[in-house]
Amino acid sequence: MDNIELHNDLTIRDYKEADYDEIVRFWLLTDMGNPERGDSKETIKRTIELGGKLLVMESKSSKQICGTSWMTFDGRRILLHHFGILPECQGKGLSKILLRESLQFVKSNGAQVKLEVHSTNIKAINLYKKFGFKHLGEYNVYIIRDVSNL
């Protein structure tokens, strides 16, 4: 894999459909791509149509995707998820650049922003706290994945 020249070679742009396959590989690599989550091309498109945004951090020279930040909007709040940096690019401060840009989108929308992070993910927790996220309390998270029997 090509080295990514940092900062002056990086750009943050909106997701485009042609990114999908690379993004799916990226999400698998960063443990954000469980197929059960149902993050299809159509789902991404729908969330963008509903006022969300999927930001992609990319190397201008190699075109390699090195970060993603997906913000979905339900009309009330923004949920920040699939926020990650390619393993070989981690530890260089890139997440702060991507999160800063993500929060500009949040600011322009004006809604509150929420996220879920595993309690053992210390790097991400430190990052989010640094940018002003406050722990909401000891909530557990529940989901119904299979709605066919409802």
Q: Which is nearer to ligand COA, 36 or 146 (CB)?
A: 36
Interatomic CA distance for residues 41 and 140, integer angstroms: 29
Q: Which is nearer to ligand COA, 126 or 149 (CB)?
A: 126
Span from 1-9, 16-24, 36-44, 121-129 in contact with ligand COA (CB under 6 A): 121-129
For tokens 């690599």, the residue is 29
Decide if residue 29 touches ligand COA (CB under 6 A): no
91: tokens are 């530890």
- Rounded Cα gap, residues 127 and 99, in angstroms: 9
Q: How far is the CB of 148 from ligand COA (least distance, A)?
A: 28
- Annotate each residue in 79-118 with x if it binds ligand COA (CB under 6 A) or - if it does not, as one string: ----xxx----xxxxxxx--------------------x-
Between 10 and 127, CB nearer to ligand COA = 127
Q: Pick the closer one to ligand COA by CB: 13 or 96.
A: 96
Q: Does 119 bind ligand COA (CB under 6 A)?
A: no
By CB under 6 A, name the binding residues for ligand COA: 30, 32, 83-85, 90-96, 117, 121-124, 126-127, 130
